Structure 1
């Protein structure tokens, strides 16, 4: 039997915690060399865009799994995705996830793990730039790893940011305030989440308070980046989830050619070291999310294992 799971099945906040722990497990396997996580592979479909594959899995542990995620860059109305999870021992398909939610849940969970290890332990205020699905999942994950007391949100569309504030306040049970400027969202925040599609910087380094942590989820190429380069230069600690993916982008990473590029470290390896333990209270930290392959498969596998969601179908 194969379990079929759609976006409507992946709504409960308990799944965010499951996803975060699955990503922690994936990073542990990555450190030990058991996680297979090559850069994503785009397949151009004429002028329409690309079908993009991320594949991976693990060959260690009691329940090794493998699989892939496929999504598109067609910019069409539905833009659905699929994640397939296999049992490596048996060779059977355990589950199929259809929709957009699992990918965003996984990306949010990676951001949550970065916040868990990079943000100050007393971080209580979050500023969110962006109001889409990625922004929502990043804030959910932040609330799972820190005792968040207040969140600000800014996006260019007033209706969208008001809707975000209303929905997330109800979902998380904390005050979420829509503000009129990006600066207002950033300048008093302990954690700053940038989750936009902007090709130009949406914040300024001067707005960051001492000791702030930043997650960037949006564009990060040298000619299109949502963060200014000087945020990277001012950061004492810079991490990414996949250095392989960072170097495999069609265009150079936005910090290329700067002193900051030499300081980018792998999140998995650094968690195991004492690199993060020695941060000073006023150090700025930065996490650049690139999408660690294999994590969506492990998140999917953990949901299949721990949550009674979806329907069973016979192949």
Structure 2
């Protein structure tokens, strides 16, 4: 059996934004259908450099196990080591044998599937007449959100806020060039939020960036930046009368934006409306009125990496892309075809 190596450029060529949205919906449905094993992810802080997360997921229907390592915040990497400040690697294992079948660059996948998660939430939770986005944060993930959301709705304008005028100008130029969507730089976060039908937060904030009284009735909020304790983007008061939807309840109540209003006693765990897979499966409703504020708390799930990487792997095999190599050394075989070295399970 060969192991396939897929580099970043090959990953980029092997999947479209629409395909990623479909893969993320598949992941959410599988998760809420009992077809996923997904241990809690491990995050390691490496001050003063950055952080690295490890996420593992098993998709029972697809018979694939994925393991992703994803790092970020290593701002000195380009100068000191000649590598990016954030990197990702995904390993895919055939669950029937646990053989390593693919090693692929995961840096694009993380961004793509996180953007797709926001787009799925827009389909289910945003007002049908929503046209204006506010982007608080103007980095790579903000771009990914707009790329995915533009697949599921018509965006008339993006109101953006950032403390760096240069970052804001670059964001405006990129979005207008790629999508033809006008970007309105705002003087403050409040100015952007007050104009939003859909609010996207993609910062690394450690305290509230958005205050409750800035949010208009009917706004849909996509909270992306908080995926570990110590991070925060939203005033917990926003949750008090909002419809709260999460990707994974167990993750969000421990590490997501939802932890903050729970910790303050503003909401109880029973006030969380649904996991997004439950809405996709029709078990719970999405938006029910144009006036309600909806929040999608996305901490990121290993099963999203799994289904997205699986689609890329299948496309690579179909298109004969990537580099197959001999990673696994075959053992001697018994007459019945079983591997002699592994005929019995280990006691270790």
User: What is the TM-score with the length of structure 1 in the denominator?
Assistant: 0.88
2:259 alignment partner, SS class = coil
Residue correspondence of structure 1 range 152-231 to structure 2 within 5 A: 152-219=159-226, 224-231=231-238
After alignment, is 300-309 or 150-159 more displaced? 300-309
Q: Does 1:270 align with 2:298?
A: no
- Which residues of structure 2 form unaligned runs of 5+? 78-83, 327-348
Q: CA RMSD in A?
A: 2.8
State the match for 1:293 in structure 2. Answer: 302
1:96 and 1:177, CA in 2 relative to 1: closer, same or farther beyond 3 A? Answer: farther
Matching of residues 43-62 of structure 1 within 5 Å: 51-60=52-61
**Secondary structure class of the residue paired with 2:151:** helix
Match in the other structure for 1:255:
261
Q: For 1:41-66, what per-residue CA distance to the aligned partner results, in whole angstroms no more than 9, with x for missing partners?
A: 23577987664310002111xx4211
Structure showing greater radius of gyration is: 2
Contact 2:37–2:58 (Cα < 8 Å) also in 1 = yes
Distance, in Å, in 2 between the alignment partners of 1:277 and 1:170 is: 33
Report the Cα distance in structure 2 between the residues aligned to 1:146 and 1:205, rounded to whole angstroms.
Answer: 26
The answer (yes or no) to whether the contact 2:125–2:294 under 8 Å persists in 1 is: yes
Tell me if 1:72 matches 2:85: no
Structure 2 residue aligned with 1:136: 143
Provide structure 1 residue ranges, at least 5 long, that are not aligned to the other structure. none
* Contact 1:38–1:244 (8 Å) recurs in 2: no
- Aligned counterparts of 2:163 and 2:301: Cα–Cα separation in 1: 29
Cα distance in 1 for residues equivalent to 2:205 and 2:45: 23
Q: CA 1:72 to 1:35, structure 2 compared with 1: closer, same or farther past 3 Å?
A: same
Q: Which range moved further: 146-155 or 219-228?
A: 219-228
Contact 1:222 1:252 (C-alpha < 8 Å) held by counterparts: no
Q: How many angstroms apart in 2 are the aligned matches of 1:180 and 1:12?
A: 38
Aligned to 1:314: 325
CA distance 1:162–1:206, change in 2 (3 Å): same
Please say if residues 223 and 257 of structure 2, whose CA atoms lie closer than 8 Å, have aligned partners that are also in contact.
no
**1:4-25 deviation per Cα after TM superposition (whole angstroms, max 9, x unaligned):** 3333345579622111110100
Task: Give TM-score, length-normalised by structure 2.
Answer: 0.80
Provide the secondary structure at the position in 2 that maps to 1:200. strand
Whole-Å Cα distance in 1 between the matches of residues 183 and 257 of structure 2?
Answer: 36
